[in-house]
Chains A and B, each alone.
Chain A
C-alpha cells in the first residue's frame, strides 16, 4: 500500500469520470434524498426533546410524544435514517470512482435504498407506538432490524462484486476505509440484533455487547466512512497528494484496533468484568493516536492551501467535520479516565460528546461530501451560495454552542451528582440554564438542516428544467483538479 501512485486518488480523465458517475447517479441520489428527509425529521424531534427537558409540560401527556420516545426517535432517525444512508451513498460513489468501474447493477442498489427506508420508517413508527428495545443506538424493534439488515446485505454484495471488478493498481487510503466500514457495519449490526433483540441473551451478558456495538457504530462505521470521504475530497479539491502514506497507515490501523475495543469505556464502574472496562479505557485513551495522525496528516496536506475553504463548501464542511472528529476522540479519551468519568458519567457531557461526534464530525463531513458529489452526478450547480453559507454557519454555531454549554453544564451537574452534600434537586437547578441554551443550539441545527434541505430541493427542481443552463450562481472551485460540472 505504500506505493507512490496510491497517494493520488485517481488518474481518470473527465470523460471516464462522467461515465462512472452517471452509472451510480440514481441510487446515490436516492440515498442522499431520503437521508436529508430523515435528517430534518430527526433534528425536529431533537428540538422537541430539548424543549421538553427545559419545559416538561410542552406537548405533555401524550404517549406518542413523551420525552422517552421523542428523544429515542431523534437518535435513531438520525443514526439509521440520515447518517447510515448518507454514509452508504458516499461509499457507493467513492467505490465506483476509486475502483474505476462503471456499474450496471444499480437496480439492486435502488431496491436496497427503498428497503432501507421502509425499515427505518417501520422502526421509527415502532418506537413511537411503544416497541422501543431500550438498547442504546439500536432502539428499533426487532421486526424492523431484519429489513435493514436485508437491505445492507444487498449493498454489501454489490460492494464485494465491485471491488472484485476493480482495475488493478494500489489501493488508495479511502478504499481501506471503505472496505473497513462496509465490512464492520453488517457484522456489528447483525451481532447486536441477534444477541440483544431477536434472541436476547440473559441480561447479565448484554451490557458489554451493547457497549461494543455503540462504540463500533461510531468508530468502525461512521468514522471510517467520513474519513474515506475526507481523504478523497481534500486532495482532490486542493490539487495535492495526501502528505504522508505512513501517517495514513497509522491512522487506519489504530482506528480499527482501538476503535473496536473502545466501547466499554462508557461503562466504568458498571456491572461487567473489570478487565473489559480496563481494556475499553485503554483503547479510548489510545484513540489519541489516530486523532493526531489524522490531524497532522491532513494539516501537512493542506498547509498553505487552506484558501479554497473560503469558496469551496465541500472543503469547508469536510475540514470542519474532521477537526471535530479529532476533538471528539481527544475529549472522549479525557472523559474515559476513571477519575474524570466518575464525575462526568451520566451528566450532559455524554450528550455533548454525542453531538460533537455524530453531528459535528459525521454530519458536517457528509454535508461536505454531498456538496462535492451531487453537482458531479447531476451536472448542475448548487442553486444558492447564500443558503449554503447559512447552512454552514448555523450548523457550526449550533454544534459549538451546544457542545460548549453541555460540557460546562455537565461539569457542574456531574460535580453536584458526585458531591454527598448536594441534593439531586440542586443538580437539576444547576443544569437548567445550560439546557435552555442547548435547546437554542438545537434550534440553530434545525435551521441549518432546513437550509440544506432547501438547497437540495433547489437542485432537484433545477434538474427537471431540462435544456437550460446550470441554474444561478455557484460557489466556484477554482483550484480544483476537476471542472465543477462534468
Chain B
C-alpha cells in the first residue's frame, strides 16, 4: 500500500468536497442571475447603473472604502440592521449583479452604505463630505479624500463644478476654488446609485410588528 497515494487521495477528496460546494455550486447557480422586470416602470430590478457609477466602483475599490464600510443588510430577527434603518430588507445575491466586485465589507468603522443613495441625494453635500469630512461632521473619523479634488487658482471665471460652502482648514482661500476630478465625480455617482429600496421576490420586507 502506497501511503502517499492514500494520503493524497484523502486530501483531494476532503478539499474537493468543499470546492464543489463553495466554488462550483456558486459558479453554476449564482453567476448567471438576471435582473427582473419592474412591472410598475417597465425598467429592471435591480436598476441599471450609469456609466459614471460603474467607473465609480473602481474608485471605491482603489481607495479601500470597503475597509470601513459594509454593504450588506442582514435579516431582521437575527440582527438590528433593518430596525436601525440601514435598509428595508435583507441584501440578497441578486442585489450584487450590477457590481464588478461584491463590496460586502468586514468592518463597520463607518456606516453601512447599502442604501446610502436612499439617505443622501445631494451630490454637492457628498462632495463636501469627501473633501473635508470633519467640516461637515465634526465627530467623523473618515479620512479626507482631498486628493480626488483639484485645489486651484480661479482664472477669470470660477468653475461651475467648484464645491460651494466649504468650511474648516481645507476651505479654499479667496481667489481659489476646489474642483472635483473625474474620479471624485465617478465615486459620487456610484455612492448615489447605492439603493436597494426596490422589491425582489426572494427578499420580502419584514412586516411591521
Query: Which A residues have a C-beta under 8 Å from some C-beta of B?
Result: 1, 52-53, 56, 60-63, 66-69, 71-72, 130-136, 163, 170-171, 176, 179-180, 183-184, 187, 191, 195-196, 200-212, 216, 220, 253, 256-257, 260-261, 263-264, 266-273, 276, 279, 338, 342, 345-348, 350-351, 417-420, 424-425, 427-429
> Does chain A have a CB within 8 A of B56?
no
Nearest Cβ distance between residue B72 and chain A, in whole angstroms?
Answer: 5
Interface residues on B, range: 35 or more
- CB pair B139–A256 under 8 Å, yes or no, is no
- CB pair B15–A134 under 8 Å, yes or no, is no
- Interfacial chain A residues near B109, Cβ < 8 Å: 53
- Interfacial chain A residues near B72, Cβ < 8 Å: 269-271
- Interfacial chain A residues near B121, Cβ < 8 Å: none
> Does chain A have a CB within 8 A of B102?
yes
Q: Please, how many angstroms separate the alpha-carbon atoms of A66 and B66 in the complex?
A: 13
- Interfacial chain A residues near B146, Cβ < 8 Å: 61
Chain A: CB-nearest residue to B94? A204
Q: Please, how many angstroms separate the alpha-carbon atoms of A271 and B46 in the complex?
A: 15
- CB pair A201–B31 under 8 Å, yes or no, is yes
- CB pair B27–A179 under 8 Å, yes or no, is no
- Interfacial chain B residues near A180, Cβ < 8 Å: 11
- Interfacial chain A residues near B139, Cβ < 8 Å: 425, 428-429
- Interfacial chain B residues near A71, Cβ < 8 Å: 64, 67
- Interfacial chain A residues near B108, Cβ < 8 Å: 346-347, 417, 427
- CB pair A66–B143 under 8 Å, yes or no, is yes
Give 9 pairs: A residue, B residue, CB < 8 Å, sorted on A.
A53-B141, A68-B64, A132-B61, A135-B101, A195-B27, A212-B23, A253-B14, A269-B90, A342-B79
A68-B68, A171-B3, A271-B102 given; 19 more Cβ-contact pairs under 8 Å: A1-B3, A61-B143, A61-B170, A67-B143, A68-B65, A69-B63, A72-B64, A203-B96, A204-B30, A204-B31, A208-B22, A208-B23, A208-B25, A212-B22, A264-B22, A269-B74, A271-B90, A342-B79, A345-B74
Nearest Cβ distance between residue A478 and chain B, in whole angstroms?
Answer: 35
- Interfacial chain B residues near A130, Cβ < 8 Å: 62-63
Main secondary structure of the interface of B (DSSP, over half): loop
- CB pair A209–B104 under 8 Å, yes or no, is no
Query: Which B residues have a C-beta under 8 Å from some C-beta of A?
Result: 3-4, 7-8, 10-12, 14-15, 17-19, 21-23, 25-27, 29-33, 60-68, 70, 72, 74-75, 78-81, 83-84, 90-109, 111, 134, 139-148, 170
- CB pair A204–B141 under 8 Å, yes or no, is no
Q: Please, how many angstroms separate the alpha-carbon atoms of A195 and B148 in the complex?
A: 31
Partner of B61, one of A133, A261, A347: A133
- CB pair A207–B104 under 8 Å, yes or no, is yes
Q: Please, how many angstroms separate the alpha-carbon atoms of A427 and B95 in the complex?
A: 28
- CB pair A206–B141 under 8 Å, yes or no, is no
- CB pair B8–A134 under 8 Å, yes or no, is no
- CB pair B10–A346 under 8 Å, yes or no, is no
Q: Please, how many angstroms separate the alpha-carbon atoms of A63 and B59 in the complex?
A: 11
Partner of B22, one of A184, A263, A429: A263
- CB pair B107–A269 under 8 Å, yes or no, is no
- Interfacial chain B residues near A428, Cβ < 8 Å: 139, 141
- Known contacts A163-B4, A267-B104, A279-B21: does B30 contact A208 (CB below 8 Å)? yes
Chain B: CB-nearest residue to A75? B67
Chain A: CB-nearest residue to B91? A271
Q: Please, how many angstroms separate the alpha-carbon atoms of A72 and B64 in the complex?
A: 7
- CB pair A342–B78 under 8 Å, yes or no, is yes
Q: Please, how many angstroms separate the alpha-carbon atoms of A107 and B98 in the complex?
A: 47
- Interfacial chain A residues near B142, Cβ < 8 Å: 56
Partner of B104, one of A270, A338, A418: A270
Chain B: CB-nearest residue to A351? B107
- The residue in A66, A179, A271 that gathers the most chain B C-beta atoms within 10 A of its C-beta is A271
Q: Please, how many angstroms separate the alpha-carbon atoms of A66 and B63 in the complex?
A: 7
Nearest Cβ distance between residue A75 and chain B, in whole angstroms?
Answer: 9
Q: Please, how many angstroms separate the alpha-carbon atoms of A205 and B8 in the complex?
A: 29
